[in-house]
Amino acid sequence: MRIAYFLPPNIAAPIETVTTGTPVVPYKWYFVGNSCRCIDIVIFFHVFCIAFTQNFTKAGEQEAARCDTKAQLKARGCGEEEIISPNISIKPEKNVSLSKSFNQQEPVQLSPQEISLKVRPGLPITFNVSFKRVEGYPVDLYYLMDLSYSMKDDLANVKKLGESLFQALKEITEHAQIGFGAFVDKTVLPYTNTNKEKLLKPCDEEEADQQCQAAFGYRHVLSMTPSEKEFRNKVKDQYISGNLDSPEGSLDAMMQAAVCGDKIGWRNSSTRLIVLTTDAGFHMAGDGKLAGILEPNDEQCHMEGNLYIKSSEMDYPSVGQLAAQFKKHNIQPIFAVTNNMEAVYQQLSNMIPKSEVGVLSSDSGNIVQLIKDAYNRLSSKVTVTHDNLPDDVSVVYKPICKHPQPSDNEGICDNVSVGEEISFEVTVTARSCMERKSFTIRPLGIKDTLTVTLSTNCECECEVDETNHVHCREKGRVSCGICRCNDGYVGQFCECAIGDKDERSLRASCQRQNGTECENRGDCVCGRCQCHRTEQGSYFHGDFCECDDENCERFQNKLCGGNGKCNCGTCECNKDYEGSACQCKKSLEGCRTLNGSECFGRGTCKCNRCECKEGYQRPRCETCLGCPDPCLTKLNCIECLGFQSGPFEKNCSEACGKSIFATVVDQFTFSDKLCHLKDSQSCWVDFKLKQLVGEDNYKAEILKQRDCPKPPDITAIIGGSIAGVALIGLLILMLIKLLIHLNDLKEFKKFENEKKKSRWAEVRYRGSHHSQHAQQAQDFFMFYSTT
């Protein structure tokens, strides 16, 4: 049996006992009965009990009344010996002692390795975790170098530092290995010149004798080796390369170095370091779009022939992806960068746990000391965190060491020396019931882990009476003092036979729209709610126990101000009081106007102040800022009352007689707003309105004389029309004459052209045709006269 959604009886919210579920509030409950038992639910870390005795609850009293503190249950007759409270348990499943030094076997630096917890929801449980840095613990260092052209001088120095680098590692451990890798950038535009010759030799052409290797993204050069000679020979064969832009593909290279463990040669038990040396920034996720590369990085190994073959097909990884893989594979990066890049990589380091930044000299001459210092800082700082934490579980760490560091979700000890044993106090809290959920606790950068298996104790250890019990009207069994009814019966004591109805339909009749049975304030008995008592001793009431008489508004910390009674959440005030909390004496003094009305009839007086109708303003509801202008709304009534015209001419007294008392005057007698508007006959009407008591109640004075427009002059209209017609006729005649004249001019020009064509004949036959010429002139004269 499980108990869920519990609150103690002295809390206003109701208590409900159900057969399934999980506790949702952190209290610790006990279950008490014939031999009082315990239920593992934690609520605010106070101890509550649940009584198992069959008659512990009264008729109609909720079964959750069995839940209470030990003191309260003792006061109600439950003895101390009857209360059983299962203890939480911590059981180490695997606890191998910490190793003192590395001896070619798997060292143990974290203890215990496996632990099982049995807890109560909401109740924290604490255990200790120990850690000790093993002396001589192996170190795997992967030297990852930027071979772009600007690192030319640095490469020359790196080729000489094999001996000093191995010597520095020997001071740390006798079990050191070194690997080597190089990177530049993706071999596509705009990162690298894709001209065939430039891909083969991307270096500066001014130095013709320099050795230059073809452009590449990331190349794995040397797997982990303890041999200084092998390291020196491999690095000696490396040459500078080049690209176009300043940022490099360092994130691509680090991702492959992290996930290609079998090719890099990382050992299972070792401190894994990646030393990145560069003088430039880095490309990150999204930059690949510049080259049309849209496929996101899949965090998988893609190396063939020691080359990253997906460099031109996959985008750069994000910082979050890289940090996750470093954490997964226990790799700690050291960023050895030039001074101008320190701030950039410091920000990157802030996003990658267990990483360090060191500043390179101009020729990388200080790289060995930089690595030593960074390793010491990394290894001396122990950070314990967790992975795969289940929902509703929280973990808090308290470091117990010489130099603890504050942190919200981690335990951090700084300046931890080799062989020094430190511990962390780990507090685990589960907020809900769960069964065998696991998560891991481990120090960052270290392989060792602690597996925590967590279970909660949410079960009641109740003895079930298998026979029909008289307490249950012989229609059910007793479990934890509560009746479990046989099929066909329901109720606190199985007293209700449901007949043809099923239990669900009976319970549905006790539920309002929110689906809560009797509002959690009563028991559903045969389809009707039997309401419980309130804390003050009265009863809830209503069809669904939705009402109580204790939660009305208060005034001066008195229910309904002490001047009324509470009924279902609403105050019913005594005769001389009013207000939502009966806080006011009835009075109209503050609502009286100069004319003796109450709020000008446009509001009601409550608590000696006006509550105005919509639009009207306090304190007396005299003016309405948002109401329509009465000059406009009353114009039709003014026209019909004053001049017997307009839309209301036929029913003026019915439409306007009750709202306006109008007088036609020669001169206004009161000084209210003047209205000057046009009526339906286009006459200008002057009138004044004065609002009386009430909303639609006005007194009006209408000026007798209207300003109407003069009637039109019929004679002038007719005369003008005749004159207009005559003028139009004259214009038409003139237009016809003009067209005829233009046609004559056209014919005359035609005649002139014909005359010019025949002049040559006149010159040749001047004498013989003189008479003919005269005849033509005469003909022309006659033609012109005719036209």
Question: Hey, what CATH topology would domain 139-380 get?
Answer: Rossmann fold (3.40.50)
The 3 state secondary structure assigned to 457-469 is CCCCCCCECCCCC
Instruction: Extract the tokens encoding 403.
Output: 């130099």
Note the pLDDT of residue 16. 32
Where would I find the H helices in 260-296?
261-264
pLDDT of residue 9: 33
Do 554-585 and 589-624 fold alike per CATH? Answer: yes
Taking the C-alpha atoms of residue 658 and residue 695, their distance in angstroms, rounded to an integer, is 12
Point out which residues pair with 674 in neighbouring strands: 688
Q: Is the dihedral of CA 371, 374, 376, 380 positive or negative?
A: negative
pLDDT score of 721:
87
pLDDT value for 111: 93
Higher pLDDT among residues 640 and 25, named by residue: 640
513-536 mean pLDDT? 81
Q: Mean pLDDT for the chain?
A: 82
Angle, CA 174 vertex, CA 168 and CA 180 arms, to 5° = 60
CA distance 338 to 359: 5
Q: Give the pLDDT band (50/70/90) at residue 73.
A: low
**506 phi/psi in degrees, rounded to 5:** -65, -45
Q: How confident is the model at residue 288 (pLDDT cuts 50, 70, 90)?
A: very high
Q: Give me the mean pLDDT over the 594-601 stretch.
A: 87
pLDDT band at 781 (very low <50, low <70, confident <90, very high): low
| Element of type H or E holding 772 | helix 770-786
Average pLDDT rounded to a whole number, residues 378-382: 90
pLDDT of 342 strictly over 90:
yes
Q: What is the mean pLDDT of residues 307-335?
A: 94
Please tell me whether the overall predicted TM-score, pTM, comes out greater than 0.75 for this model: no
Q: What digits encode the pLDDT tens for the residues 405-464?
A: 998 889 999 999 988 999 999 999 999 988 999 999 999 988 899 999 999 887 666 666
Report which of 421, 566, 436, 526 is spatially closest to residue 129, judged by C-alpha positions: 421
Tell me, what's the pLDDT at 33? 38
pLDDT at res. 43 = 35
Residue 344 pLDDT class (50, 70, 90 cuts) = very high
Q: Which segment of 635-644, 675-684, 707-716 scores lowest on mean pLDDT? A: 707-716
What pLDDT does residue 205 have?
63
Band of pLDDT at residue 642, cut at 50, 70 and 90? confident
Are the beta carbons of 563 and 607 closer than 8 angstroms? no
pLDDT score of 672 more than 90? no
Is the CATH number 2.10.25 carried by domain 589-624?
yes
- DSSP per residue, 101-165: B--SS----EE-SEEEEEE-TT--EEEEEEEEPPBT--EEEEEEEE-SGGGHHHHHHHTT-HHHH
For domain 89-135+383-456, the CATH superfamily is ntegrin, alpha v. Chain A, domain 3 (2.60.40.1510)
Predicted confidence (pLDDT) per residue in 10-55, tens digit: 333 333 333 333 333 333 344 433 333 333 333 333 344 454 555 6
Question: What pLDDT score was predicted for residue 521?
Answer: 84
Question: Does residue 511 contact residue 517 with C-beta atoms inside 8 Å?
Answer: yes
- Which percentage of the chain shows pLDDT scores above 70? 83
Can you give the residue ranges of every domain in the chain?
31-86, 89-135+383-456, 139-380, 554-585, 589-624, 630-703
Q: How confident is the model at residue 309 (pLDDT cuts 50, 70, 90)?
A: very high
Task: Give me the pLDDT at residue 252, please.
Answer: 96
State how far the Cα of 546 lies from the Cα of 600, in Å rounded to an integer.
41
pLDDT at 18: 31
- pLDDT grade, residue 217 (50/70/90)? very high
Q: What confidence score (pLDDT) does residue 593 get?
A: 87
* Cβ-proximal residues to 25 (8 Å cutoff; 6+ apart), any chain: 5, 6, 7, 43, 44, 122
DSSP string, 342-354: HHHHHHHHHHSSS
Element (H, E) at 179: strand 176-183
Segment 118-140 shows an average pLDDT of: 90
Q: What is the DSSP letter of 217?
A: S
Query: Most confidently modeled of 13-22, 496-505, 776-785?
Result: 496-505
Per-residue model confidence (pLDDT) at position 124? 92
Q: CA 172 from chain center: how many Å? A: 49
For 554-585, CATH gives: 2.10.25.10
Of the chain, the percentage scoring pLDDT greater than 90 comes to: 31
* CATH hierarchy code of domain 630-703: 4.10.1240
What value does the mean pLDDT take over residues 199-210? 72
The pLDDT value given to residue 764: 54
